[in-house]
Structures are given as structure tokens and as C-alpha cells.
Amino acid sequence: TLPQSEQTYLQSLQEKYSFSFQEQRQIVETASDLLQWKMGPIERWIDEGKEKKAQGKKRGKALVGNLLRKVNEERRRPTDYADFFPSERLPDKVRSVIVHTQKIMGRCPCPVEGEKTRCCNLKTLDAVQQCSFGCSYCSIQSFYNKGEIKVVGNLKERLEEMDLDDDTWHIGTGQSSDSLLWGNDFGTLDALSTLAQRYPQTIIELKTKSHRTDWLAMDLPSNIVATWSLNAPTIIGKEEHHTASLEQRIAAARKAADKGIPLGFHLHPMVWFKGWEKEYEQVINVVTDTFKPEELVMFSLGTLTFTKAVLRTLRSQGRESRILDMELTEAAGKYSYPLETKRRMFSHAYSCFPQQWKQTGPFFYLCMEDPCLWEPTFGYSYTNDRAFETAMKEAYQQRVALVDEKRHLSI
């Protein structure tokens, strides 16, 4: 909801120009975005002195056109965070609710029809729903009730009774919550370990932005892979509220590697902002300086992608954020950066890796991205989803087997 002063101003414009429903929607969305970016109020962006020759609705149409042109010029530029200091967000108050009837298995959010994005056939397991981190771009908040953490109370029993399909070889647990934020507080890792032991050829992936490491005292099967989402320090500090810093995430991952846990990293979502080249290069340098390429199973690249529902949720929350200060281009039924912007970000990131990492390192891939971006990023591509999935499966299982062998040799 817009502040009363904004509503009063927009109402006065409506009385003057009788905007169409679509024009009203565009103005309200723009006003909301500008306030979230701390670039408002919208009155600063509207010049009623222009188009004086036009009258009534025609003048209103011209006014909206000028507004959108100015705002779109801002969107096309890399986001400037230098003068953006969001108010400190208090941690969300959450309460745990134990549930026993939830559906827990699903599939990745790639488009179902066609191969509009290169898809790896990931299956998802929702042991916990909702997250107490405060990432401004997160889609989880649009799926679940705010302030309520739902935990599958009988997870171990459910997984013991579950028979996996033959094509289920890779299960992700970070789609509906942070996989390691809760550690083993609810017995989640115990339950996942039981499943991993039953299906030793199935990779179970944990994904986190936390620096929690007490779970390393557990004896986890080697087919459980711990991965960390990474980002530029500017984005972590200004958009990924309450998450661990880059240094804390790397330190936690290093501890996991020292315990013989297979690792992975996701540089996701990459954000187009002023200074992005230098900061993302620094992120990759930290990774390659801290880890050996053979310690990692995978390294993925991805960027911001929003459904209409998520865009509505982010705007309705009204939180200070510049994450939507971007050019929203239609992409496989969702909204994301233009392909050329993605090509520049992804190819730059991959170019920062030493040649040894590209030849003998982790399995590199693009997450939920257009197939046309693979060749300019990596210098190779896959003809279809099946070829991509086969290559990923072979690489993951070989790397996990290697880590497992080293773990047993060190005992």
C-alpha cells in the first residue's frame, strides 16, 4: 500500500487526466518501485509541464509515456547501490508448526513444456517450508504463509516408506527453505541420511546461505552434498538480510571440506549493479584460493528470475530494496534480465576461473537459463535436456565417489 501522500497525489492526477485502467496500474507499480528503491516520491519523476499542446486523456497518455521512459532508462543502467542504505530489518518472528500431511516431493521450477531453459530433472524435497532469512528477491515468501515455519514432523517415517522412481538421482532440499539454517534441530538431517543410505546412487543436495557448522559432527553419507549460495558483498549486505557474510559462508564450507563433505557453490542470483565485474571476480578468486577444484562437485551460475506472483508480492511488501531496479524482460513465462546482460555476467564469471578449474574442476552449469547462453559462457552446450542431465549425473557421481574414497583413506 502506498503512503497516504502518494495516494493523494495520484488521485489528483487521475482527476485531471482520467487515466485508463492499464495506465493507473503502470503508475501505481512505478510509484511502488521508486519508493522501494528510495528514489521516490513519484512526483519527482512526473513533468506535468510537458506536452502542453495535448489535452485531457491524450495529455495523460503522454505524461505516462514520459514517466515510463525515464524509469526504463534507470532500469537499463546497472543498479547503483552507492547511495542506497536500507533501513535495518528486524528478523522475522517465526513459529514452528509440526505438520504430518504435507506433500514433500516435487520437481524443479523449470518450465514444464518444451526446453525453454536447460533443465537437469532435479527433484525437490520440502522437509521445511519458509525461511527466516530476509533476501529481498526470494520467491519462497510468495508461496508460504509469513511468520510460520512448517516442519514435516514424521519425515523419517515418510522417507523410510518412500520408494524413489528410477529417474530420481538428484534431490534438492533448498527450494522451500534454507537447508542448513535449522541444522538438525528437527531431525531433518537424520531423516535425509536414512534416505541417502537407502539410495547410495542418489545425490541429496543441501543448499544454504548460513554459516552453521554444528551439523558437521554428524556422520553423513557421502552422497549428501553441501552447497552454499554465494554473492557479491554489496548484494549480501544490501539485499540478503540476516544471511551469513561471504567470508562466513566460505569459512563454513572450508570446515565442511576438511570433514570430507562433498561441496558445491551457486553464484546465484548474479545482479547487474555498478561494480559487478570486480566484486564477482573477487568472489571467484576467494573460492579458487580457498578450495582445490577436486573438492567441489558443482559450481552453477544464475540470475534473477521472477514470476508475476513474486513481483506482486515484492511490491506489496513495500520493503526498501533496489532488486527490481532492473530491466524486466519476458523469459520463458517469467521476467528476468535481457539475454545480452546475462551473457555478459555469466561469461565474465566463468572467465575468472583458472584454466585448471575449467579442465579438472567441478561441473559447471547455468541454472534455469536459456540454452543459447551456454555456448558464449562456457564454449560448449548440450543438444537437449537429456544430454545435460546425463553429463551432470556422471560428473556428480564420479566426484562424490572420489571424495568418498579420500574420506575413507584419511580414516
Strand-strand pairing, 329-331 and 148-152: unpaired
- Whether 124 is in a domain gets the answer yes
| CB of 45 closer than 8 Å to CB of 67 | yes
Give the model's pLDDT for residue 103. 79
Residues of the chain with pLDDT under 70: 51, 90-95, 100-102, 109, 111-114, 141-147, 411
Of 76, 109, 136, the position where a domain reaches its end is 76
**Residues 161 and 266 both lie in one domain:** yes
Rounded-to-integer distance, Cα 240 and Cα 233, Å? 10
β-bridge partners, 128: 151
Residues 6+ apart with CB under 8 A from 296: 263, 264, 265, 361, 362, 399
Give the model's pLDDT for residue 205. 97
- Whether 89 is in a domain gets the answer no
**Residues 32 and 118 both lie in one domain:** no
- Whether 103 is in a domain gets the answer yes
Put simply, whether the predicted model's pTM sits higher than 0.75 gets the answer yes
- Amino acid 214 reads D
- Whether 262 is in a domain gets the answer yes
Of 76, 111, 132, the position where a domain reaches its end is 76
Strand-strand pairing, 334-336 and 305-306: antiparallel
Containing structural domain, residue 11: 4-76
Q: Each residue of 237-287: pLDDT tens digit?
A: 999 999 999 999 999 999 999 999 999 999 999 999 999 999 999 999 999
Give the model's pLDDT for residue 121. 87
Rounded-to-integer distance, Cα 189 and Cα 151, Å? 13
Measured CA angle at 302 (ends 296, 305), to 5 deg: 150
Q: What is the CATH number of the domain that holds 283?
A: 3.80.30.30
- Whether 81 is in a domain gets the answer no
